[in-house]
Amino acid sequence: MVTGGMGYIGSHTLVVLIEAGYDVVSIDNLSNSDLNVIGQIEKITGVHVENLNIDLCDVEAVAIAFDKHPDIVGVIHFAAYKAVGESVEHPLMYYRNNLVSLINVIQEVKSRGIPCMVYSSSCTVYGVPDKLPVTELTPLKPAESPYGQTKQMGEQILLDALKGSKTQGVSLRYFNPAGAHPTGLMGESPVNVALNLVPVITETAAGLRDEVVVFGDDYETRDGTCVRDYVHVMDIARAHKLALEAAMAGKLSSPVETINMGIGQGVTVMEVILAFQKTSGVDLNYHIGPARPGDVPAIYADYSKAASLLGWEPKFTIDDIMKTAWVWELKRRKQLT
């Protein structure tokens, strides 16, 4: 069972799971996703995915969904609101949605003795780290946004709930997922206005936005813009499959393992823009704007635990990310028109 399966990372993870031979079911209320992704998944895999359109904050609806699929062996929980800026403006909406939905899912996982659960966490749990790169032992600082706070609290809820239970858990703390499926058939396609840098870049290049705003250029980084660890969505999707399999094989040494998901390299906003221009051949219209509340100046991962515990290594670079994202943008805009 994949919650948020119609969303960006969830849909790519469904593809990876199907191609590995798993039967899957999605739960997604389509608040920031599109049911058309089912057709895209089917084109890639030849499998039609069932999506249950329910609100995971509705405890009775969640129980009914699990009743409908009594043979579940693992749950991957993506479903959450995820925009840092929006969480600053609407904190209660984020606390209710992200935490109540998680509690309801964990409750069903525990009561039914489902062997494993993978939680979609985030590098935002680290706040502003004192030292880079970030490891899983890096102390958690106060979160810079309500969104980050919900991820910190979500990890703690999962750990407290699974202690002494039959379920093994994994919290994957991923950094900045980006890019698209190599076929160009599927990629990031939010229903709400895109806020992440890569789709903002591709939408601007496609003429859907006037310009890209670079939020701040006076951070203490090599070119003054924020540094992030961009990891290809297919690398992230593959990590979820590996995490499930590690839990099912009994490879985890604690009730919940926390694992970083990044490529171990920091890339500035300006470097991302230059990578796009290089791989696409398109000159991008951008300007420097004020810094955003809640943004962390720099963060990138040490992924050695993912390598040793899951056998995971990133296969895609920032150039691959920008190339696949641009191909997806061009293909989906042609479909829409």
Mean residue pLDDT of the chain comes to 94
pLDDT of amino acid 328 = 94
User: How far apart (Å, rounded) are the C-alpha atoms in residues 34 and 244?
Assistant: 26
Angle at 90 between CA 83 and CA 175, to 5 degrees: 20
Closest C-alpha to 117, from 246, 290, 270, 273: 246
Q: Which of 8, 119, 147, 300 is catalytic?
A: 147
286 is annotated as an active-site residue: no
User: Strand 25-27 to strand 212-215: parallel, antiparallel, or no bridges (unpaired)?
Assistant: unpaired
For 256-312, the pLDDT digits (tens) are: 999 999 999 889 999 999 999 999 999 999 999 999 887 888 889 999 999 999 999
Contacts 24+ apart (CB under 8 A), 51-54: 51/5, 51/6, 51/25, 51/26, 51/27, 52/25, 52/26, 52/27, 52/28, 53/28, 53/29, 54/27, 54/29
Contact, 297 vs 220, CB < 8 A?
Answer: yes
The identity of residue 117, as a single letter, is: M
The identity of residue 309, as a single letter, is: L
Q: Residue with structure tokens 């969505």?
A: 233
Closest C-alpha to 8, from 282, 336, 232: 232
Burial of 145 (0-12, 13-18, 19+ CB in 10 A): buried
Closest C-alpha to 143, from 79, 88, 90, 89: 88
Residue ranges of the alpha helices (H) in the chain?
8-19, 37-45, 59-68, 84-89, 91-95, 101-111, 146-162, 197-205, 233-248, 269-280, 304-305, 318-336
Closest C-alpha to 116, from 64, 166, 152, 177: 166
For 141-177, the pLDDT digits (tens) are: 988 899 999 999 999 999 999 999 989 999 999 999 9
pLDDT of amino acid 32 = 87
For 44-90, the pLDDT digits (tens) are: 999 999 999 999 999 999 999 999 999 999 999 999 998 888 999 99
Q: Which domains does the chain have, with CATH numbers?
A: 2-336 (3.40.50.720)
Contact, 248 vs 115, CB < 8 A?
Answer: yes
More confident: 112 or 253: 112
Q: Residue with structure tokens 């593959």?
A: 238
Q: Is the pTM higher than 0.85?
A: yes
Percent over 70 (pLDDT), the chain: 98
Task: Give the helix/strand (H/E) hosting 228.
Answer: strand 227-228
User: How far apart (Å, rounded) are the C-alpha atoms in residues 96 and 93?
Assistant: 5
More confident: 333 or 148: 148
The residue count of the chain comes to: 337
Q: Residue with structure tokens 């806020």?
A: 195
For 174-209, the pLDDT digits (tens) are: 999 999 999 999 998 876 677 789 999 999 999 999
Q: What is the mean pLDDT of residues 308-326?
A: 96
**What does DSSP assign to residue 136?**
T
pLDDT exceeds cutoff 60 at 335 = no
For 10-24, the pLDDT digits (tens) are: 999 999 999 999 999
pLDDT of amino acid 196 = 84
User: How far apart (Å, rounded) are the C-alpha atoms in residues 49 and 29?
Assistant: 15
**What does DSSP assign to residue 262?**
S
pLDDT exceeds cutoff 90 at 332 = no
pLDDT of amino acid 337 = 47
